[in-house]
Amino acid sequence: MRNIKLTICYLGTNYHGFQVQSNGITICEAVQDAIERVLGKRYDVKGCSRTDAGVHANRYCLNFRAETEMPLWSIKKALNAVLPDDIAVRCAEDVPEDFHARYCCKGKRYVYKIWNSDAKNPFLQGLAYHYFRTIDVVQAQAVCNLFVGTHDFAAFCGGKNTQENTVRTITACGICRSGDLVEFYVEGDGFLYNMVRILVGTVIAVSENRLNLQDIPRIMEQGVRRVECKTMSACGLYLDEVFYE
């Protein structure tokens, strides 16, 4: 029995996230369907994380155990041929028997894209969040710096969070501008439900003077979600990389 790891990228617009759900097609089902077409049998797929409906991925990792002699390059090629246009396999690898895409994951990086202009951009529909007011990236970077480190992020997760331990370590967080496109990135050992989208919402709240920089450490300490820290739209969010040992 082989244990095969796939690194995939996808446009999440037309999917109800990764994890199989009853209310719509998911990335996981699309991948399982493709594997079944290529290998002739339906295998269970383990994803590195649930991602929300509409969220994209540049590099999402998953693994499945399968009995096949097919070489990796051929698996990759065949899967790409049968997968829909909005999902692609970037890499197929043989991994040790005990590798599990979720449990072995040591960290992740997310990117949030903002089209920061008063001009509509038909070409970034569903690929970036459209935000009109100019973001001061120097000020925004100061907010990002406050997220770095080991903190209790209870105030920065959605109501549906099921994790009891809300302490996470953020190893890097920043924001950069390239013309009218602003990219927020955050790297850490793990993320709570909706956490990245709420961290971006917090950056925006400071940018709009609805919160001060000084409020952030206090909010973090209090551990209570604030209405100012909105959950940003899924369409700007990309799972950018998944780290393993």
Instruction: State the Cα–Cα distance between residues 27 and 4, nearest whole angstrom.
Output: 17
Q: Between 126 and 145, how does the x/- string for binding to a copy of itself read (CB under 8 A)? A: -x------------------
Can residue 123 be called a binding residue for a copy of itself (CB under 8 A)? yes
Confirm or reject binding of residue 224 to a copy of itself (CB under 8 A): no
Binding a copy of itself (rule: CB under 8 A), the pick from 20, 66, 72, 88 is 88
Catalytically annotated residue among 44, 52, 86, 136: 52
142, two tokens: 């100061």
Nearest to 197 by CA among 134, 112, 126: 112
Q: CA-based angle 6:10:14, to the nearest 5?
A: 135
87: contact with a copy of itself by CB under 8 A: yes
Q: How far is the CB of 119 from a copy of itself (least distance, A)?
A: 7
Distance CA 94, CA 1 (A): 11
Pick the binder of a copy of itself from 33, 86, 189, 228 (CB under 8 A): 86
Give the interface segment with a copy of itself, choosing from 63-71, 99-107, 123-131, 169-177 (CB under 8 A). 123-131
Q: Which of 5, 16, 46, 56 binds a copy of itself (CB under 8 A)?
A: 56
Stretch that binds a copy of itself, among 45-53, 115-123, 157-165, 182-190 (CB under 8 A): 115-123
Q: Does 11 bind a copy of itself (CB under 8 A)?
A: yes
Alpha helices in 100-176 (DSSP H): 137-147
Distance CA 200, CA 186 (A): 10
Residue 40 near a copy of itself by CB under 8 A: no
CA distance 130 to 236: 9
Known active-site residue 52: yes
Number of residues that bind a copy of itself (CB under 8 A): 19
CB atoms within 10 A of CB 113: 20
Task: Give ∠ CA 48-154-206 in degrees, rounded to 5.
Answer: 100
Cα(111)–Cα(237) distance, integer angstroms: 6
Residues that bind a copy of itself (CB under 8 A): 9-11, 56, 80, 83, 85-90, 119-123, 125, 127
